Chain A
Amino acid sequence: MSLFGTTSKFGSNGSSVGTFGSAAADHHNPMKDIEVTSSPDDSIGCLSFSPASLPGNFLVAGSWANDVRCWEVQDNGQTVPKAQHIHAGPVLGVCWSDDGSKVFTASCDKTAKMWDLNSNLAIQIAQHDAPIKTVHWIKASNYRCVMTGSWDRTLKFWDTRSSNPVMALQLPERCYCADVVYPMAVVATARRGLIVYQLENQPSEVRRVESSLKFQNRCVAIFKDKHHKPNGFALGSIEGKIAFHYLNVPNSVKDSFTFKCHRSNRANSSGSQDIYAVNGMAFHPIHGTLATVGSDGRFNFWDKDGRAKLKTSEPLDQPISACCFNHNGNIFAYASSYDWSKGHEFYNPKRKNYIFLRNAAEELKPRNGK
């Protein structure tokens, strides 16, 4: 089945999908998406596709099995494992350099590594006092560096050639998630902290934003305006809610809004509703629409400008722990693996972890062509 350019068959909302479940006698892939081969043996913590500068599509995934795996995703949907490298601890963040030659990986072993895919060598380029949760590559007009956010409450910037960070900024709390779209960077920390940075010349803090969500921050993604300049970010929390914060616009408070998601629908008035965490989110690089994945095992597509939900998937039998789009938005990858949302009691190490690839060219078009 081809991933690119063809209209997806899985389109409609849960149409005949339900009946398919029986094929595998389970709901590990109710959306009938392409399964990546040789998926990691433990939960997948992060996914990232190669940038446009690399021909073809390469996916890297970091997992709790301490490894980072790289696959080539071919046009016909086949995935070919290419390489992997291993950390000493679970890998929590991955990111590509802008030229597609290196992959940066951040791990619970408190280091971040730069993995050169051509030589298949990985060297350490960062060090923190606690697990590093996020790693991002920054390409500015006058500098290039790697930004790492850690549970040690610091945000450090590394020139990969030196063992000392070129800059270290203090965070109010542990870094839980971050996103970079030059020249803006947003870091979300524990205790609902939200800090916005600007990266021109050198990274500096711009302001702290009051989160409109009342629960722990879980994932953040910057969105762009129609001129492709970052002008705000979306924030997901553990309470099944996403908030959109607009920055740099006059009515930023008024234009910001939240909506609820990843919640179970119990019978309307009776019974309780289960509220799930939003584990990951990603903006479609072309349409600017948003995909979110949650502990409820579903992914949703949203149009923030039209304030509408475009699609909800059928629930997978495991939470979806990470997601990302490829550089042109044709492929949406999401990982199905346990995210610890129900504690260790529900962890089954024997359960297979999956990464699915879905054709995203059509489903993420905004409503009314906004």
Chain B
Amino acid sequence: MGRKKKKQLKPWCWYCNRDFDDEKILIQHQKAKHFKCHICHKKLYTGPGLAIHCMQVHKETIDAVPNAIPGRTDIELEIYGMEGIPEKDMDERRRLLEQKTQESQKKKQQDDSDEYDDDESAASTSFQPQPVQPQQGYIPPMAQPGLPPVPGAPGMPPGIPPLMPGVPPLMPGMPPVMPGMPPGMMPMGGMMPPGPGIPPLMPGMPPGMPPPVPRPGIPPMTQAQAVSAPGILNRPPAPTATVPAPQPPVTKPLFPSAGQAQAAVPGPVGTDFKPLNNTPATTTEPPKPTFPAYTQSTASTTSTTNSTAAKPAASITSKPATLTTTSATSKLIHPDEDISLEERRAQLPKYQRNLPRPGQAPIGNPPVGPIGGMMPPQPGIPQQQGMRPPMPPHGQYGGHHQGMPGFLPGAMPPYGQGPPMVPPYQGGPPRPPMGMRPPVMSQGGRY
């Protein structure tokens, strides 16, 4: 991508100031984020197009472009990709990018060797366009007077591209090198502090670059090489320094494949990352209490991030096994929303067999099997006290089984009243066989 001269700027979205590698992607982004109808999700091509659609189809007026930054929300402006961007905004953008690159370049160029200063700023900026810094925008090489020497460097130009791509891979290795790099970069020849660091770069160095060492012996050459060398070497630090910048584009593809699969959201990361402050704006519409909001089954569970208008949610109602919130694009593999999977499952008689009813014997004692056993033989210690009251009303979950010996060893005694007290409880030993037992047994038998 980054050939010099790409309209002098990487494609960027006028509405939200984001950068893209390709105009196609930019257009897709605009369609998905800015020209998408919030009512029916139809993607239009331009702002005015969207406005007209909303008016004609939904009878609604729209006065601002969705997801646009303040100041860039004009719906009347016909912008498609990079076309239609007002000249002054373009200029502003260019200036902004220049500034940014200058700044970051300058930072890196805090070095102790003055010789390279001018050349470097020239050379480095000239290399800006290299793909490593997608965000930096393009600064026409022509603008850099320092360049001419570069072609002079034997084999330089052809050598450069190979280095560039090579740079990112170096990055991981960079860190150890990096710290020494920036200062060392510049003085390529002058200082060898980055000595250990240089070798890794060396291979990447264009053929024209003799190792720094012999520099002194080649003053004129040196100059030329110094120009380019630092320039090249700059690359690596530059990218690392601004690594955070390229990050997002890099991570985008990594992002959940869900992002790609969603019909509704072709856009990059933004959709998935949707910062909370966006969604709450819409989610607060139906405040928590409106559980009923969930009943609306419709749509777009996938595009929930964007359109909370359709409170997705599953129809709590009917819908036998699976939830069908289908918006024809998605389906939630989950039964009714109202209760959790565990609650649903726990209602099954199979899982309630042991719970209930009075007379439950201490569980587990019996057969349990090899390992096992546990249940402390602490007989007769039904814990009552605090526990008791709640007992009686147990609807679905069956009775308590308090068979389990109560609390800690040591403190036992208080429950002198054990057995007689509570009909439902039995101490360990007595265990009147209740209907329960058998199931318990069998349960144990499972193991």
A309: shortest Cβ distance to chain B, in Å? 5
Which residues of B are found within 8 Å of A218, using beta-carbon distances?
Answer: 340
Which residues of B are found within 8 Å of A341, using beta-carbon distances?
Answer: 333-335, 341
Interface residue? A227 (CB, 8 A)? no
Interface residue? B343 (CB, 8 A)? yes
Which residues of B are found within 8 Å of A115, using beta-carbon distances?
Answer: 374
**Contact of B275 with A193 in the complex, beta carbons under 8 Å:** no
Chain A positions 232 through 264: 1 when the CB is less than 8 Å from some CB of chain B, otherwise 0: 000000111101010000000111111111011
**Contact of B334 with A123 in the complex, beta carbons under 8 Å:** no
Interface residue? B372 (CB, 8 A)? yes
**Contact of B409 with A123 in the complex, beta carbons under 8 Å:** yes
Chain B positions 327 through 354: 1 when the CB is less than 8 Å from some CB of chain A, otherwise 0: 0111111110111111111101001101
Which residues of A are found within 8 Å of B397, using beta-carbon distances?
Answer: 89, 108, 110, 130-131
Q: Which residue of A lies closest to B337 (CB)?
A: A216
**Contact of A256 with B275 in the complex, beta carbons under 8 Å:** yes
- Residue in A190, A215, A309 whose beta carbon sits within 8 Å of that of B254 in the complex: A309
**Contact of A121 with B352 in the complex, beta carbons under 8 Å:** no
Interface residue? A198 (CB, 8 A)? no
Which residues, 125 to 140 on A, are CB-close (under 8 Å) to B? 125, 127-131, 133
- Residue in A67, A129, A273, A277 whose beta carbon sits within 8 Å of that of B261 in the complex: A273
Chain A positions 331 through 352: 1 when the CB is less than 8 Å from some CB of chain B, otherwise 0: 0000000011111111000000
**Contact of B373 with A120 in the complex, beta carbons under 8 Å:** yes
Q: A164-B386, A212-B279, A258-B279 are in contact. Are A272 and B273 (CB under 8 A)?
A: no
A234: shortest Cβ distance to chain B, in Å? 13
Which residues of B are found within 8 Å of A263, using beta-carbon distances?
Answer: 256, 258, 261, 302, 330
Interface residue? B235 (CB, 8 A)? no
**Contact of A214 with B308 in the complex, beta carbons under 8 Å:** yes
**Contact of B260 with A265 in the complex, beta carbons under 8 Å:** yes
- Residue in B251, B322, B343 whose beta carbon sits within 8 Å of that of A306 in the complex: B251
Q: Which residue of A lies closest to B410 (CB)?
A: A161
In the docked arrangement, what's the CA distance between A124 and B313, Å? 39
Q: A64-B345, A111-B401 are in contact. Are A306 and B247 (CB under 8 A)?
A: yes
Which residues of A are found within 8 Å of B440, using beta-carbon distances?
Answer: 88
In the docked arrangement, what's the CA distance between A355 and B99, Å? 56
B63: shortest Cβ distance to chain A, in Å? 26
**Contact of B407 with A86 in the complex, beta carbons under 8 Å:** no
Q: A124-B405, A151-B343 are in contact. Are A307 and B444 (CB under 8 A)?
A: no
Q: Interface segment, A15-23, A28-36, A50-58, A76-84? A: A76-84
Interface residue? A295 (CB, 8 A)? yes
Interface residue? B64 (CB, 8 A)? no
In the docked arrangement, what's the CA distance between A193 and B243, Å? 38
Which residues of A are found within 8 Å of B288, using beta-carbon distances?
Answer: 191-193, 210
In the docked arrangement, what's the CA distance between A160 and B410, Å? 12
**Contact of A125 with B340 in the complex, beta carbons under 8 Å:** no
Size of A's binding interface in residues, CB under 8 A? 101
Interface residue? A153 (CB, 8 A)? no
Interface residue? B262 (CB, 8 A)? yes
**Contact of A85 with B372 in the complex, beta carbons under 8 Å:** yes
Q: Which residue of A lies closest to B273 (CB)?
A: A257
Chain A positions 160 through 183: 1 when the CB is less than 8 Å from some CB of chain B, otherwise 0: 111111000000001010000000
Interface residue? A45 (CB, 8 A)? yes
Which residues of A are found within 8 Å of B25, using beta-carbon distances?
Answer: none
**Contact of B386 with A163 in the complex, beta carbons under 8 Å:** yes
In the docked arrangement, what's the CA distance between A333 and B258, Å? 24
Q: Which residue of B lies closest to A262 (CB)?
A: B258
Interface residue? A92 (CB, 8 A)? yes
Which residues of A are found within 8 Å of B401, using beta-carbon distances?
Answer: 88-89, 109, 111
Q: A86-B444, A273-B330 are in contact. Are A258 and B272 (CB under 8 A)?
A: yes
Which residues of B are found within 8 Å of A340, using beta-carbon distances?
Answer: 335, 341-342, 344-345
B26: shortest Cβ distance to chain A, in Å? 20
**Contact of B407 with A41 in the complex, beta carbons under 8 Å:** no
**Contact of A275 with B333 in the complex, beta carbons under 8 Å:** yes
Q: A239-B312, A295-B333 are in contact. Are A309 and B276 (CB under 8 A)?
A: no
B400: shortest Cβ distance to chain A, in Å? 6
Q: A87-B364, A306-B247 are in contact. Are A191 and B291 (CB under 8 A)?
A: yes
**Contact of B351 with A84 in the complex, beta carbons under 8 Å:** no
A124: shortest Cβ distance to chain B, in Å? 4
Which residues of A are found within 8 Å of B386, using beta-carbon distances?
Answer: 127, 162-165
Which residues of B are found within 8 Å of A239, using beta-carbon distances?
Answer: 301, 304, 312, 332, 334
B278: shortest Cβ distance to chain A, in Å? 10
A70: shortest Cβ distance to chain B, in Å? 8
In the docked arrangement, what's the CA distance between A69 and B371, Å? 9
Chain B positions 394 through 405: 1 when the CB is less than 8 Å from some CB of chain A, otherwise 0: 100110111111
A-B pairs with lowest CB-CB distance, top 8: A86-B364, A343-B321, A85-B374, A164-B386, A265-B261, A256-B276, A124-B404, A121-B376
What is the interface of chain A, defined by CB distance below 8 A to chain B?
A: 41, 45, 64-67, 69, 81-90, 92, 108-111, 113, 115, 120-125, 127-131, 133, 151, 160-165, 174, 176, 190-193, 210, 212, 214-216, 218, 238-241, 243, 245, 253-261, 263-266, 268-269, 272-277, 295-296, 300, 306-309, 312, 339-346, 367-369
10 inter-chain pairs at a CB distance below 8 angstroms, sorted by A residue, are A83-B372, A85-B373, A88-B363, A111-B400, A125-B408, A212-B276, A257-B276, A268-B263, A272-B329, A295-B333
